[in-house]
Amino acid sequence: MAIKIEHLDKRFGSFAALDDVSLDIRQGELLALLGPSGSGKTTLLRVIAGLEHADGGRVLFDGEDATRLSVQARRAGFVFQHYALFRHLTVEENIGFGLRVRRGRERVPEARVRARVAELLSLVQLEGLGARYPSQLSGGQRQRVALARALAIEPRVLLLDEPFGALDAQVRRDLRRWLRELHDRTGLTTVFVTHDQEEALELADRVAILNRGRIEQVGSPADAYDAPASPFVYSFVGAVNRLPARWREGRLHVGGVPLPAAGRAAAAGQGDAEVFVRPEDLRLSDAPDAWPATVVAAQRTGPRLRLRARLHEGQAEVEVELPADLQGDAAVPGAEVRLAPKRFGWFPLAGASAPA
């Protein structure tokens, strides 16, 4: 099912949780809603599910206006961060609950309920655990039960709100891989909320990045990391160095050195700007136009060496990530080095001119 969101607004008192949000969610894709706390991502998910009502705008399911449809009529499977399982019901009873409570013409025969539960236990790799209670399961197993319960009603869309937030790091990594495989098998349109950028970039087909109730960028994980559309996205997705810069004579200068024209910087701007360089995009260089710097600290982490260096011009500090086998004398605090960016992005400061 495809979902179209048109100009959604939602306020809680004077706080704008959603501010003119529009988004197209494609049939069968796995879309991440990524952003910091308070950015509006959970509110947007709940509006899609019908658990919250927007103050303005529409939600369309396959072209049908779902704005006034009830939660049940929308047939959205919802998974919460803390599982929300019934503690007094077994795993099998939890999974089959949504089917057993149907009445009238939608009532499901018990034999079909049992068959569906068995099918889902196999799908989420919990065969043989149907008679256990939630308290007898690990956190990862409980989240699988919650996913199976959401899938039992044969939803048109699967909505996940921080599904792995309550789990430890290793279990989260394992469940991320499992969820991606599950999505690829079912082909169900899936939207999940997370503030974990690694989770979003690893799992999603596309990422919608929210900030203060607005969508800053929608695109592939590679786009979000390699071609951020705003200073916020650059700073939120991945580590980045932010350096003051200024346009002079058609060149962008940082640390007293003109940068090579590349990408967006090829179209000259004016005035003050900020340059964004990821740690892995800084390299040691002997070039005369590289930035002179002094190493402040060095830390080896597995196959990588992370340096913190202070530029001589302006005293800005930057982080540099290098392969550990290239460390040489640069790993010593106090070492003098020269740094050059392999690639970078830039944005004008308020009041400065951006390229057309």
**Given pLDDT bands bounded at 50, 70 and 90, which one contains residue 189?**
very high
Q: Which of 4, 2, 8 is nearest to 210 (CA)?
A: 8
- Domain covering 3-235: architecture: 3-Layer(aba) Sandwich (3.40)
Q: Give CA–CA dist 112/230, Å, rounded.
A: 51
Residues of the chain with CATH 3.40.50.300: 3-235
Q: Which of 72, 5, 74 has its CA nearest to residue 43?
A: 5
pLDDT of the residue at 313: 87
Residue 355, pLDDT > 60, answer no
Please give the pLDDT value at position 356.
Answer: 43
Per-residue b or e along 163-173, where b marks 16 or more CB atoms closer than 10 Å to that residue's CB:
bbbebeeebbe
Nearest to 152 by CA among 103, 112, 105: 112
C-alpha distances in angstroms, 54 versus 5, 8, 109, 310? 11, 6, 36, 48
In this structure, of 188-197, 249-258, 315-324, the range with the lowest mean pLDDT score is: 249-258
Task: Tell me the CA end-to-end span of the chain in Å, nearest whole number.
Answer: 38
pLDDT band at 277 (very low <50, low <70, confident <90, very high): very high
Strands 56-61 and 3-12: antiparallel
pLDDT digits (tens, 9 = 90+) for 10-29: 999 999 999 999 999 999 99
Give span(s): CATH 2.40.50.140, the chain: 239-348
Highest mean pLDDT of the ranges 100-109, 257-266, 275-284: 275-284
CATH of region 239-348, choose from 2.20.25.650, 3.40.50.740, 2.40.50.140, 2.60.120.10: 2.40.50.140
Q: Where are the beta strands (DSSP E) in the chain?
A: 3-12, 15-25, 30-34, 56-61, 64-65, 76-79, 157-161, 190-194, 206-211, 214-219, 241-248, 251-254, 257-258, 272-277, 282-284, 291-301, 304-311, 317-323, 336-341, 345-348
